[in-house]
Amino acid sequence: MARRPLPRILSNRGAHLARSRELARTAADSATDILHPLITIVRGLRRLASAGRRRVADTPKDRRGALLFLVASVLLVVLLLPYGPLLAAIALMAAAAWQGRDRAPAAPKGPDESQAQRLKSLYDALVPYFSSAGDPDPLYTHGGSWEKAFPAYEFDGTGRITHLVVVYPAYYTDGEAESRARIEHLLAAKSGRGREYHFAWDEEGNQLTVQVLAPLPADIAAQRFVTSPGETVLGFTDPMQVHRTLPLAHGEEQRDVPPVVWRTGIRSTAPHLLAAGQPGSGTSTLLRSVALQALRHGDVVIVDGGGTGEYACLTGRDGVLAVECGLAGVLESLRWAAHETERRLIAANRAHQAGDPPPEDTKRPLWILLDRPSAFTHLAAADGREDPQSLLQIPLRHGRPANVTVVVADQLDSLETLSDAVRQHTRARVLLGPATPEQVTAVLGAPPHTTPLDHVPAGRGYARLGTGPVHRLQVPATPDPYDDTTGADHRKAVLDLLPARSAQGDAQTEPTRTAPESGPVRRTPADATFTDKHSLEKKPVDPATTDRTVTEPYAAGTADTADTADTADTADTADTADTDTAPPEPVPVETAAAESS
């Protein structure tokens, strides 16, 4: 039966309510303006009445009769006088108006002396940038006044600027990144270092709005986020660009925080992620957070190039297919992942050609998480073996229609060792830790609209999904529960999220922290259960089959191309086309690496 659309009032309830609320507020404001004199008089009458009551109460009982007599006499005289009642009413109203006047001290107009001094010094600092010799009516001149240049400003309790609107001449080159960066740097320095500023350039109105940003909450622990399958919370951001909020538990409290949600899977426009950062900036923590979320609906293969056993807590858990920290195991697992991607593509393609829905065993998301794969690239080169990154080509290029997601984390100064495929196909980007604006631009493909800080808490940085805006990001605290320095609350939060130990995992020994050279420590895809569960053939794939499987669904110009899962199931065809061509953004990362080294 066809579904009937909801009545508009129900489907659009939020907007409707907001409009009604706005109308009511406007009506109330207008009514208050019109009735203001009446309100003042009524307030004054109330004050006079209560003063009278107080007077009566304060008068000793034996003298109240005399007081009453005096009042009654005055009233009588007033009544007898010509125009007495009229004059008395006018006098009463005047007294009430006087008593009812607003006695709150008026807010001081304009800034105080120190604030004015701050604005003046900001103005003076901007003069060299915003003035031109040929300007007949300059807004900025040496010794000029700041009032016209700064139409709006706010200060905090310590006298530092929290909000400022700067008007600048139309000839200023506000479309050029360097010109903007110059002004932003200057304003941030003059308004107080150690805070983050958001800059909004209104090129049409020749106005720049500077806003001080509150620090992002750095104390949110890992937890079960309220998301749909295919959504991963990378962290939390400002409410300015993200209008959705997630209800989060914070100790006993509940609070709503705007998240950065990354969508993966068949319809994703940024199906793979690259996270970069200085050592200790929190990229492994981000990967652990992603893994815990991925395990709710999918399977995970982890490659740990850090060699410190930071993922040992995941070993042997349901859905964790492998935690590899040795070159041999890494190669085997990634080879399997490549074959599994191909198998899924073939199975889905056959189903499409037969007019069937995709088989169930192609739908469960498979995640390949690699922490510092560059470590294995060096090892493989020294050992004369295949670079593990070359095995990522197929999952990266064809992973999206096969529900295979790749997440790579590496240090800023190792980014140049990442393969072209990794750089081209990881369109979701995260940069954690301190970084220059150039590094942010190189990794994310766009500059941040905020001033990067020199000192940031672990897990703080920026995120950009495809060609979207750059978000400030704070990753939820998801520490290694086996680390002795982890606090009890955070350890419990992570342990609570770990899936149960699988039967095979129980049979394994306790995890040990192993250097990359020491070989695989956990289950590998070659294990029997693993093979049965995922119908993986252990024998190497026939090259002829491999060729066919890779080219079949993607071969340009073949008759089958139009039938592929990709074109049939994917809304974003531009992104689909990208599987064989380099996407325009984010940009390569050599510059970032060069900067940091």
Ligand X SMILES: Nc1ncnc2c1ncn2[C@@H]1O[C@H](COP(=O)(O)OP(=O)(O)OP(=O)(O)O)[C@@H](O)[C@H]1O
Q: Please indicate if the annotation marks 277 as binding a ligand.
A: yes
Q: For residue 432, how many other CB atoms are within 10 A of its CB?
A: 28
Position 281 contacts ligand X (CB under 6 A): yes
Whose tokens are 């004015």? That residue is 116
Look at residue 97 and give its three-state secondary structure.
helix
Could you tell me which stretch among 165-173, 278-286, 319-327, 493-501 binds ligand X (CB under 6 A)?
278-286
Per DSSP, 475 falls in state -
Instruction: For the CB of residue 541, give the shortest distance to ligand X in the complex, in Å.
Output: 34
Task: Please report, as residue ranges, which positions from 405 to 424 form the binding site for ligand X (by CB under 6 A).
Answer: 411
Nearer to ligand X, 459 or 583 (CB): 459
Could you tell me which stretch among 113-121, 195-203, 280-288, 567-575 binds ligand X (CB under 6 A)?
280-288
Look at residue 185 and give its three-state secondary structure.
helix
Q: Which residues contact 68 (CB under 8 A, 6 or more apart)?
A: none
Nearer to ligand X, 307 or 468 (CB): 307
Nearer to ligand X, 176 or 219 (CB): 219
Q: Please indicate if the annotation marks 192 as binding a ligand.
A: no
Per DSSP, 501 falls in state B
Identify the CA nearest to 279 among candidates 406, 413, 376: 413
Instruction: For the CB of residue 152, give the shortest distance to ligand X in the complex, in Å.
Output: 35
Instruction: For the CB of residue 1, give the shortest distance to ligand X in the complex, in Å.
Output: 49
* CA dist list (Å): 199 to 121, 409, 460: 19, 29, 19
The residue sitting closest to ligand X, measured at its beta carbon, is 459
Q: How far is CA 427 from the centre of its chain?
A: 16
Q: Please indicate if the annotation marks 284 as binding a ligand.
A: yes
One character per residue 352-391, x = contact with ligand X (rule: CB under 6 A) = ----------------------------------------
Position 477 contacts ligand X (CB under 6 A): yes
Task: Please report, as residue ranges, which positions from 296 to 335 form the binding site for ligand X (by CB under 6 A).
Answer: 306
Q: Please indicate if the annotation marks 374 as binding a ligand.
A: no
Task: Please report, as residue ranges, which positions from 77 to 96 form the binding site for ligand X (by CB under 6 A).
Answer: none
Return the H-helix or E-strand segment holding 492: helix 488-497
Instruction: For the CB of residue 512, give the shortest distance to ligand X in the complex, in Å.
Output: 17
Among 283, 389, 417, 549, which residue interacts with ligand X (rule: CB under 6 A)?
283
Nearer to ligand X, 387 or 413 (CB): 413
Nearer to ligand X, 404 or 475 (CB): 475
Instruction: For the CB of residue 308, give the shortest distance to ligand X in the complex, in Å.
Output: 6
Sheet with strand 161-167: strands edge to edge = 152-155, 161-167, 207-213, 196-202
Position 487 contacts ligand X (CB under 6 A): no
Nearer to ligand X, 479 or 505 (CB): 479
Q: Report the amino acid identity of residue 437.
A: P
Give the count of residues interacting with ligand X (CB under 6 A): 15
Nearer to ligand X, 208 or 234 (CB): 234
Q: Please indicate if the annotation marks 279 as binding a ligand.
A: yes
Side-chain half-sphere CA neighbours of 298 within 13 A: 28
Position 481 contacts ligand X (CB under 6 A): no
Q: Please indicate if the annotation marks 401 as binding a ligand.
A: no
* CA dist list (Å): 148 to 138, 182, 417: 11, 22, 52
Nearer to ligand X, 322 or 477 (CB): 477
Instruction: For the CB of residue 463, give the shortest distance to ligand X in the complex, in Å.
Output: 13
Instruction: For the CB of residue 309, give the shortest distance to ligand X in the complex, in Å.
Output: 11
Do 210 and 232 form a contact (C-beta atoms < 8 A)?
A: no
Q: Report the amino acid identity of residue 222.
A: A
Q: How far is CA 132 from the centre of its chain?
A: 40
Among 232, 284, 524, 576, which residue interacts with ligand X (rule: CB under 6 A)?
284
Instruction: For the CB of residue 554, give the shortest distance to ligand X in the complex, in Å.
Output: 35
Give the CA angle between residues 570, 266, 355 to the nearest 5°.
65
Among 223, 268, 285, 419, which residue interacts with ligand X (rule: CB under 6 A)?
285
User: What φ, ψ does residue 225 adopt, rounded to 5°?
Assistant: -80, 150
Q: How far is CA 549 from the centre of its chain?
A: 38
Instruction: For the CB of residue 575, give the shortest distance to ligand X in the complex, in Å.
Output: 29
Could you tell me which stretch among 156-164, 281-289, 311-319, 414-422 binds ligand X (CB under 6 A)?
281-289
Structure tokens at 222: 């890992």
Instruction: For the CB of residue 229, give the shortest distance to ligand X in the complex, in Å.
Output: 24
Nearer to ligand X, 299 or 310 (CB): 310
Among 259, 271, 277, 401, which residue interacts with ligand X (rule: CB under 6 A)?
277
Q: Please indicate if the annotation marks 283 as binding a ligand.
A: yes
Among 37, 279, 487, 584, which residue interacts with ligand X (rule: CB under 6 A)?
279
Could you tell me which stretch among 196-204, 262-270, 272-280, 417-425 binds ligand X (CB under 6 A)?
272-280
* CA dist list (Å): 279 to 274, 442, 448, 596: 15, 18, 21, 11
Nearer to ligand X, 306 or 326 (CB): 306
Position 479 contacts ligand X (CB under 6 A): yes
Nearer to ligand X, 376 or 530 (CB): 376
Q: What is the CA radius of gyration of the chain?
A: 34
Q: Which residues contact 236 (CB under 8 A, 6 or more apart)?
A: 216, 217, 220, 257, 258, 259, 260, 473, 474, 476
Look at residue 527 and give its three-state secondary structure.
coil
Residues 140, 369: Cα–Cα separation, whole Å: 54
Residues 429, 435: Cα–Cα separation, whole Å: 14
Position 276 contacts ligand X (CB under 6 A): no
Side-chain half-sphere CA neighbours of 65 within 13 A: 1
Q: Angle 177-191/113-130 helices, nearest 10 degrees?
A: 160
Task: Please report, as residue ranges, which positions from 437 to 476 form the binding site for ligand X (by CB under 6 A).
Answer: 458-459, 475
Q: For residue 240, how many other CB atoms are within 10 A of its CB?
A: 16
Structure tokens at 361: 């065993």
Do 246 and 237 form a contact (C-beta atoms < 8 A)?
A: no
Q: Please indicate if the annotation marks 173 as binding a ligand.
A: no
Binding residues for ATP: 277-284
Residues in touch with ligand X (CB under 6 A): 277, 279-285, 306, 411, 458-459, 475, 477, 479
